[in-house]
Amino acid sequence: MDAPRKRTWANRVRAGKQRIKALRRPIYVVALSLLAAGFFAFTFTINRRFEEKRRNLSTYWFQEGQDELERGAPQNAIPYLRTALLYSHQNPRYLFSLARALAAANRVPEARSYLLNLLEEEPGSGPINLELARLAARDNDPNQARRHFNGAIYGAWETDPVSRRQQVRQELISFLIGANMKTQAHGELMSYTAEMPNTPNAQLWVARTFTKLGDDRNALDFYIAASRLNYRDVTAMLGAGWAAFRLGRYREALEYFKGASALHDDPSTSQMIDLMSSVIKLNPFDSSISATERRHRLVLAMGIADKRLKSCADSHDVDLDTVAGDPLQLAHSQWAYLNRQIRGTYNNSALVPLLAPVASLVTSIEQKSGCGAPTAEDQAMLRIYQGGGELQR
């Protein structure tokens, strides 16, 4: 009875072993999965701890670098920022700071290399474009500079984007003026006026920039706007006075100079007030004056020009009564001819055509060199007649 029973047990054991063998692959897979999970958890833990250490180190070194940058020592900041990057390889903030430090330390190619790399990852970044624009401006590369300035203007800014874009446009305009690209600068300035803040400073900056670009008409408008926003702004008043003066709007100029003088009495402003008064008094181009007054002003102008001509002739030892081909003698004969014409004319329709030749003659006489220091009257004459011979409204 025992033998069949033993066989049964042996069979059972053998069958069990076979079953275990058949299951060994799934068991291996489960065991490997558990082992992998354990290893993963271990790696996760040490990685997290080490990441924290790296983060702390990178923050520390970055702060050191920033401190050096703020102290104005970019050379010292560079190794600190590089060390910060060692612990935070791709941190764009650190990379940007390093690029700025390199740029500040005059290591332009290195700075540009980092910035271009950053730009590749963030092509619409305002700050990166601005830094690149500054580097290009430093390298006198107006095309690249304009490209990046525009990238910065239309790019993304994290904080206060409107004001940052306005600042960038201001910087671009200044760069274009510096690079003697006045037409482009004028275009940018016009764009800027469309979005500029309505503050006295901004209006004043625009007015001054228009002045630099020779656009006195716009400059006057913005000086006036600035002085309206701040009634006590002497600079705006003076700027308006000068702009109006250059535009030939002498009465307006006189008012602005008087306004400036009332706010802050200054000898040069008083001098301008005197000059304006003289100019207004001597200006024959004013369309509102009568024929008698115009004739009188022209006669006065011819008298001042004659004095200047004689002073020149004395200085150059030229006899004005003879005609030997000297430019002063020729001017004198022209003067004599025009003088006769003016003195024999009494109506406006005949006097107005004389304005242009008188302006030309007076300007040429007043501009002659080596004739001694010009008097206030001479300066006024030059201001009045230099503009040409048109009537002013």
Sole window of 30-38, 170-178, 241-249, 329-337 interacting with another protein (rule: CB under 8 A): 30-38
Q: Is 256 exposed, middle or buried (0-12, 13-18, 19+ CB in 10 A)?
A: buried
Work out whether 28 is an interface residue with another protein (CB under 8 A).
yes
**320 in Cβ contact with 365 (< 8 Å):** no
**Contacts (Cβ under 8 Å, ≥6 apart) of 187:** none
Work out whether 116 is an interface residue with another protein (CB under 8 A).
yes
Sole window of 83-91, 157-165, 247-255, 291-299 interacting with another protein (rule: CB under 8 A): 83-91
318: alpha, beta or left? (left if phi > 0; alpha if psi -120 to 50): beta
The tokens 């990238």 sit on which residue? 151
Sole window of 113-121, 129-137, 138-146, 200-208 interacting with another protein (rule: CB under 8 A): 113-121
**Rounded-to-5 percentages of helix, strand, coil across the chain:** 80, 0, 20
Work out whether 21 is an interface residue with another protein (CB under 8 A).
yes
Q: How far is the CB of 140 from another protein (least distance, A)?
A: 16
Q: Please select the residue that binds another protein; options are 15, 39, 292, 303, rule is CB under 8 A.
A: 39
**Contacts (Cβ under 8 Å, ≥6 apart) of 104:** 69, 74
Query: What does the longest C-alpha to C-alpha distance in the chain come to?
Result: 167
Q: What backbone torsions phi and psi does residue 138 show, to the nearest 5 degrees? A: -65, -35
Q: How far is the CB of 378 from another protein (least distance, A)?
A: 56
Which residue lies nearer to another protein by CB, 39 or 346?
Answer: 39
Q: What backbone torsions phi and psi does residue 125 show, to the nearest 5 degrees? A: -80, 130
Work out whether 29 is an interface residue with another protein (CB under 8 A).
yes
Work out whether 114 is an interface residue with another protein (CB under 8 A).
yes
Q: How far is the CB of 9 from another protein (least distance, A)?
A: 21
- Count the Cβ atoms, other than its own, within 10 Å of residue 277: 15
Work out whether 83 is an interface residue with another protein (CB under 8 A).
yes
Site for another protein in 43-82 (CB under 8 A): 43-44, 46-47, 50, 53-54, 57, 61, 79, 82
Sole window of 14-22, 195-203, 231-239, 333-341 interacting with another protein (rule: CB under 8 A): 14-22
Q: Give Cα 352 distance to the centre of its chain.
A: 43
> How far apart (Å, rounded) are the C-alpha atoms in residues 71 and 58?
20
Q: How far is the CB of 68 from another protein (least distance, A)?
A: 14
Sole window of 23-31, 164-172, 218-226, 331-339 interacting with another protein (rule: CB under 8 A): 23-31
Q: How far is the CB of 19 from another protein (least distance, A)?
A: 10
Among 228, 261, 258, 257, which Cα is nearest to 243's? 257
Work out whether 89 is an interface residue with another protein (CB under 8 A).
yes
Sole window of 41-49, 275-283, 285-293, 315-323 interacting with another protein (rule: CB under 8 A): 41-49
Work out whether 110 is an interface residue with another protein (CB under 8 A).
yes
Work out whether 32 is an interface residue with another protein (CB under 8 A).
yes
Dig out the tokens for 174 from the structure: 């200044």
> How far apart (Å, rounded) are the C-alpha atoms in residues 222 and 367?
32
Q: Please select the residue that binds another protein; options are 34, 40, 55, 347, rule is CB under 8 A.
A: 40
> How far apart (Å, rounded) are the C-alpha atoms in residues 352 and 56?
84
Which residue lies nearer to another protein by CB, 94 or 256?
Answer: 94
> How far apart (Å, rounded) are the C-alpha atoms in residues 173 and 137?
12
**Dihedral angle of Cα 103, 108, 114, 120, to the nearest 10 degrees:** 110
Sole window of 29-37, 193-201, 310-318, 337-345 interacting with another protein (rule: CB under 8 A): 29-37
The CA–CA distances, whole Å, from 124 to 130, 144, 195, 337 equal 11, 16, 20, 70
Q: How many residues bind another protein (CB under 8 A)?
A: 38
Q: How far is the CB of 248 from another protein (least distance, A)?
A: 53
User: Which residues of this chain interact with another protein, rule CB under 8 A?
Assistant: 18, 21-22, 24-25, 28-29, 32, 35-36, 39-40, 42-44, 46-47, 50, 53-54, 57, 61, 79, 82-83, 85-87, 89-90, 109-110, 112-114, 116-117, 120
